[in-house]
Amino acid sequence: MKKVAWCPFLLIIILSVVLASCTQANYTDILVTKVFDGDTLWLTNGEKVRLIGIDTPEMYESDKLHRDVQRTGEDIETLIAMGRESYKFTKKLVEGRKVMLEFDVEKRDKYGRLLAYVFIPNRQLFLNAEILKQGYAEVMIIPPNLKYGDYFQGLYQEARENKRGLWSNNQ
């Protein structure tokens, strides 16, 4: 009789462990199938990834584009052109390549996208950092994902000072 009482409890524990291991995706060697914009990617498993710590200009009409116009003082056409430049840069680096994802405290944003630091192992490249370093993004640190915040800020400042990427014709 005591064995029967333990069976449902044991079954629940076993199922919990099995389900947990099945739902944890492997993000150490996954293909980027499409670059959506300068800071958003699609993976071969259908997941959409938002690069943590960076913000590239928008390529399409959106509320964010209008907020960026107000914030930066740039006109819509200029920001869209900058967004396209960022997109092309990111696409050249990562589309069709296998990547490794590293997560911070929050793994998903309010839209359900994975929030990740993306590494391209065969090129020994930290994608988020490279986009900043080459001047194709601004820093956007949103707590609690602060892991590389200071590092990113330094790369951004260096890109602006050296007029790289989007900053080559600006301030």
- Residues annotated as catalytic are 50, 58, 113
CA atoms within 13 A on the CB side of 101: 24
Q: CA–CA separation, 52 vs 31, rounded Å?
A: 18
Q: What is the DSSP letter of 164?
A: -
Q: Across the chain, how many H-helices and E-strands are there?
A: 5, 8
As given in the structure block, the two tokens for residue 130 are 């490279």
The two beta strands, 114-120 and 48-51, are: parallel
